[in-house]
Structure 1
Amino acid sequence: MTAEAAETRTDSPDGNPAASRVRRRGGRWIEHWDPEDETFWAEKGERIARRNLAFSVLCEHIGFSIWSLWSVMVLFMGPEYGIDPAGKFFLVAIPTMVGAVLRVPYTFAVARFGGRNWTVMSALLLLVPATVAAVVIEPGTSYSTFLLVAALAGVGGGNFASSMTNINSFFPLRKKGYALGLNAGGGNIGVPVIQLLGLLVIGTAGAAQPRLVLAVYVPLIVVAAVLAALFMDNLAPVTNDTGAAIDAAREPHTWVMSLLYIGTFGSFIGYSFAFGLVLQTQFAQTPLQAASLTFIGPLLGSLIRPVGGRLADRFGGARITLGTFAAMALATGVVIGASAMKSLPVFLVGFISLFVLSGLGNGSTYKMIPGIFQALAVRRGLAGEAAAAYGRRLSGASMGLIGAVGAVGGLAINLAFRQSFMATGSGTPAFVSFLVCYAVCGAVTWAVYLRPAARVRRTAQAPAAEGEARPAYAEV
């Protein structure tokens, strides 16, 4: 154990005499945490926060890989498995649905068990879907068995909610956009990484060796859990607060942001799971050809997510989000045109653009969440640490709900593709519905967070004291 690790195990970072309480609780508990205090942040807070961020990214990264496992496994499932394209789309949709549901309890597990403790537990849970998949992935296994095992992979989707809630508590508001973007982007990269591994296996060992993919991930899961146990910390001030969940659920902005996150993250994860199947079904690509292309979009979308957060820190999340939805609608139009022309190159340009834009929007929307609740705190007369605590409390609770609803968007995308291909043999009707969704999300972003008349009305409802800065949601 490093000297720094020992320090955080026995002492609170500000030097308060809380060591006896930490030792009594056991594990790596930090009793006092105030990232908004710039002196505290410069002296100790930033170092500790960055260390926790690094290992959070690792565990979330593997969680995303396991969550998207079946988008890779279906590429290995040839005619001998007896599953048609519609059945495969439904198979990859099941982990999305389970992961979306699990995001709510995973959010509150951080406060119940501690961020470090739950990271270790949730990482070890990934062993279940990985090892069970290795047992059943062979021709002759029933479709119902595949559905059940695919559902187990949903635990990887839950990891995102607990990881984001945990990291949100470590960083000050001024750095949340980049930190949350980096945490989520590093996790999202788990999708293209497992797809690249699938490509490597298909290209070298052939499409009959899916177990080689799982043979890589089982030891990686163990390593990630051990590193989290050794180097991450629990924050004692993040207490189990069921009232925060109720308050967040009552706040209309939670549900507005859920809708916007359906448009950004729902698109990212839904397209990530469906990309290979769309290429095989609509453009008759072989498993190797599909696998050689599917990783590109998720990789670029993951890498740009921190950029979206950083741009939101600088220019405002609402502005970046609105621009993103406008561009996503345009890219969807390109995809629809390419489908009509049956042009694979143009289709790839439009589809990969959707990945990039959804990643950008993922970063900007998650930056908006803490900013919105901070602004609400100021409007209600809070200031300083009281406002920051209020913002952390409700933004952390709302992230689980927003992340869960956003993940449901991924389920909707896969089900839309399934229905579209069953009815017409093409994904075009599904893309038309996605274009309408992006138009709606863009309109909501403008109406709620950017429209000048709405901003004036909010100010009139809660006038600020003389000389006090009025919070503008457009600046979140």
Structure 2
Amino acid sequence: MNASRPQGRRDGRGGRGGRWIEHWEPEDETFWRETGEKTARRNLLYSVLSEHIGFSIWSLWSVLVLFMGPAYGIDPAGKFFLIATATTVGALVRIPYPFAVTRFGGRNWTVVSALLLLAPTVAALAVMEPGTPYGTFLAVAALTGVGGGNFASSMTNINAFFPLRKKGWALGLNAGGGNIGVPVVQLAALLVIGTAGAGHPRLLLAAYLPLIVAAAALALVRMDNLAPVRGDAGAVRRAVREPHTWIMALLYVGCFGSFIGYGFAFGLVLQTQFGRTPLQAASLTFIGPLLGSLVRPVGGALADRYGGARVTLGAFVAMAAATGVVVLASVRESLPVFLTGFTALFALSGLCNGSTYKMIPGIFRAQALARGLRGEAAEAHGRRLSGAAMGLIGAVGALGGLGINLAFREAFSASGTGTAAFASFLGFYAVCCAVTWAVYLRRPAAAPAGPDAARSGTDAQLTPV
């Protein structure tokens, strides 16, 4: 193979218009060093920007509820349901979004998905005032779910650009940069509340309109489509039938479901259980999501080095311990202890997010090696199934955020505190610990032999058992 072969035409010749790359072999070290890495990093940068704005729009209602004072006539249970609605739609649209990448191209879909963010932002700008019917708020909250889909398509796209040995870092950075959209919109809300007051949510919404347009424009002129990443209905059917898809989805519920669920609910919990004002709540809510976002690439990098299953298990054990601290603080009504435990939960969920997404391509490539595939055949199998599985795993994981917000809604309706909800989360983390150990660590298989194993970055414990 000529490793220095051109990446492909971008001028529309050969039957394709727009920026299309016809030849892409990131596992070839010469190709990666000479042409692949620079292109992959450029696409990663603008993917992060678009996904970042998507997360901010998806999490808008986590801060808009802080602007909704008594004049809106909505109780805490109603506000939790607004948040849960946005979470649910964001989870469901994650299912089709990855397949849009294979149908239209990663760059093309990034432009479209970014522009779609204008709809919920403009709609919220129009209705955000006292006297608006609750059903209208629900409909607009549902619209913000399109921002949740950006994550799934972005991860599928970036997964195809990078070699397996770099996927943990690249996917962690892509997701972490996107996740930072949650604390950024919370900081922006803090700025608005602190300067203009809680009666001016439209200032926050108006600020995001030019940012959405900028993200779409930059994706249009700076990103690329990968021609080898084509629609494959067979891969989707295979991923649905694959037990590891659903096992990893369960683990991702514990990781990302925790991050997005806590991120959406944190400010409202502080207001409802600890009596914080909107300004006081907004001044605290961004800290946890920020830490969780920043450590996500660290989780991916640690998984690259030590193995995704080991890092994931350690994160779940620590999350269970942090939840125990939160339960204790909730019972004793100690805000400092509560903030300590809750912030630790955010950081640990971010670590877990990075390590689980490293596991996904590793699992499917290990399957290929175990079945006797080698070289590009093994790489193609791993890319094919992991790309299809990521959409399903991401969708189910995001539904964990719905579960968290519904659990809070029921707990606060019944007792006025979130203690019962946190106790249920503790039990779920124990289940995740048991599943990770039993499936991926209890009986580690021998690592694949030969040069393919040496350059794969696939850990022994990721081989299906």
Q: What is residue 186 of structure 1 aligned with on the other side?
A: 177
Aligned positions of 1:408-419 closer than 5 A: 408-419=399-410
| Structure 1 residue 133 displacement after superposition | 0.3
- C-alpha separation in 1, matches of 2:259 and 2:92: 18
Cα shift at 1:472: 5.5
Q: TM-score normalized by structure 1?
A: 0.93
Corresponding residue number in structure 2 for 1:5: none
Contact 1:22–1:30 (8 Å) recurs in 2? no
Q: 2:210 aligns with which of 216, 219, 238?
A: 219
C-alpha distance in structure 1 between counterparts of 2:214 and 2:243, whole Å: 41
Match of 1:360 in 2: 351
SS in 2 for 1:104: coil
Aligned to 1:103, what secondary structure does the other structure show? coil
- Residue 108 of structure 1: how far off its partner (Å): 0.2
1:106/1:400 contact within 8 Å kept:
yes
In the alignment, structure 1 residue 348 sits paired with structure 2 residue 331:
no
Kept after mapping to 2: 8 A contact 1:449/1:473: no
Inter-CA distance 467–286: structure 2 relative to 1 (3 Å threshold) = closer
Q: Please name the residue that 2:99 is paired with.
A: 108
Helix, strand or coil at the partner of 1:357? helix
- The secondary structure found in structure 1 opposite 2:352 is helix
Using the TM superposition, give the Cα deviation of residue 38 of structure 1 relative to its aligned residue in structure 2, in angstroms: 0.4
| Aligned-partner residue type, residue 461 of structure 2 | A
- Deviation of 1:215 after TM superposition, in Å, equals 1.0
The code of the aligned residue for 1:252 comes to: P
- Indicate conservation of the 8 Å contact 2:362/2:459, yes or no: no
Q: 1-side partners of 2:252 and 2:328: how far apart?
A: 26
- Give the 5 Å matches for 1:27-426: 27-426=18-417
Query: Is residue 332–residue 435 contact of structure 1 (8 Å, CA) maintained in 2?
Result: yes
Q: Which amino acid aligns with 1:259?
A: L
Give the 3 Å change call, closer, same or farther, for CA 210–395 of structure 1 in structure 2.
same
> Counterparts in 2 of 1:422-433, with a 5 A limit?
422-433=413-424
* CA deviation string 1:245-293 (max 9, x = no partner): 1111111000000000000000000000000000000000000000000
Matches of 1:467 and 1:205, distance apart in 2: 62
For each residue in 1:33-82, what CA deviation from the matched residue of structure 2 results, as whole angstroms up to 9, or x when unmatched?
00000000000000000000000000000000000001010000000000
1: CA distance, partners of 2:178 / 2:459: 31
Structure 2: distance between partners of 1:14 and 1:369: 30
> In the TM superposition, what is the alpha-carbon distance from 1:20 to its structure 2 partner?
7.7
Match of 2:16 in 1: 25
Task: Compute the displacement of 1:380 (Å).
Answer: 1.1
The percent of aligned pairs where both chains have the same amino acid is 72
Cα 1:17–1:352, aligned 2, differ >3 Å: closer, same or farther? closer
Query: 1:473/1:467 Cα in 2 relative to 1: closer, same or farther (>3 Å)?
Result: closer
* 8 Å Cα contact 1:268/1:301 also seen in 2: yes
Letter of the 1:412 partner, please give it: G
Alignment-mate amino acid for residue 400 of structure 1: G
The match for 1:3 is none
CA distance in 2, matches of 1:211, 1:20: 42
**2:461 matches 1:474:** yes
Q: Distance in 1 between matches of 2:307 and 2:448?
A: 21
Matching residue's letter, 2:394: G
2:431 is the alignment partner of 1:440: yes
What does the per-residue CA deviation read over 1:128-169, in whole Å, with 9 as the maximum and x for residues that have no partner? 000010000000000000000000000000000000000000
**Which residue number in structure 2 is paired with residue 8 of structure 1?**
none
Q: Distance in 2 between matches of 1:170 and 1:468?
A: 19
Q: For 1:438, what is the secondary structure of its paired residue?
A: helix
Q: In structure 2, how many angstroms separate the alpha carbons of the residues matched to 1:16 and 1:60?
A: 25
CA contact (8 A) 1:315 1:475 kept: no
Query: What do residues 375-427 of structure 1 show as CA deviations (whole Å, max 9, x unaligned)?
Result: 00101110001000100000000000000000000000000000000011110
Q: What is the distance in 2 between the residues matched to 1:353 and 1:215?
A: 33
Deviation, 1:19, is 6.7
**How far does the alpha carbon of each residue in 1:349-378 deviate from its partner, in whole angstroms, 9 at most, with x for none?**
000000000000000000000000010010
1:14 shift after superposition: 2.5
Secondary structure of residue in 2 paired with 1:337: helix
Decide whether aligned partners of structure 1 residues 215 and 468 sit closer, same or farther in structure 2, where only a CA change above 3 A counts: closer
Alpha carbons 1:59, 1:119 under 8 Å: kept: yes
For the 8 Å contact 2:171–2:297, the answer to whether it is kept is: yes
Distance 1:386 1:404, change over 3 A: same
> What is the letter of the counterpart of residue 268 of structure 1?
F
Flag the 1:427–1:20 CA change in 2: closer, same or farther, 3 A: closer
Residue aligned with 1:323, SS: helix
- After superposition, the Cα gap between the structure-2 partners of 1:434 and 1:44, relative to the gap in structure 1 and judged at 3 Å, is same
Q: AA paired with 1:124?
A: L
Tell me, what secondary structure is at the counterpart of 2:96?
helix
More displaced stretch, 15-24 vs 367-376:
15-24
Q: Distance in 2 between matches of 1:21 and 1:276?
A: 49
Whether the 8 Å contact between 2:366 and 2:462 is mirrored in structure 1 is no
Q: What is the CA-CA distance between 1:24 and the residue it aligns to?
A: 3.0
Alignment CA distance shift 1:245-1:17 (3 Å): closer
**Count of residues in Structure 1 that have an aligned counterpart in Structure 2:** 458
Query: Residues 465 and 310 of structure 1: is their aligned pair in 2 closer, same or farther, counting only changes over 3 Å?
Result: closer
Q: Following TM superposition, by how much is the alpha carbon of 1:474 offset from its aligned partner in structure 2, in angstroms?
A: 1.5
The unaligned stretches of length 5 or more in structure 2 are none
Offset of 1:22 from its aligned partner?
4.3
Mapped partners of 1:59, 1:195: distance in 2: 18
Matched, 1:449 2:436: no
Report the CA distance between 1:25 and its aligned residue.
1.2
d(CA) in 1 for partners of 2:291, 2:158: 23
Taking a change above 3 Å as real, the CA distance of residues 131 and 247 of structure 1, as seen in their structure-2 partners, is same
Structure 1 counterpart of 2:57, one-letter code: I
CA shift for structure 1 position 469:
6.2
CA 1:289–1:464 in 2, change beyond 3 Å: closer, same or farther?
Answer: closer
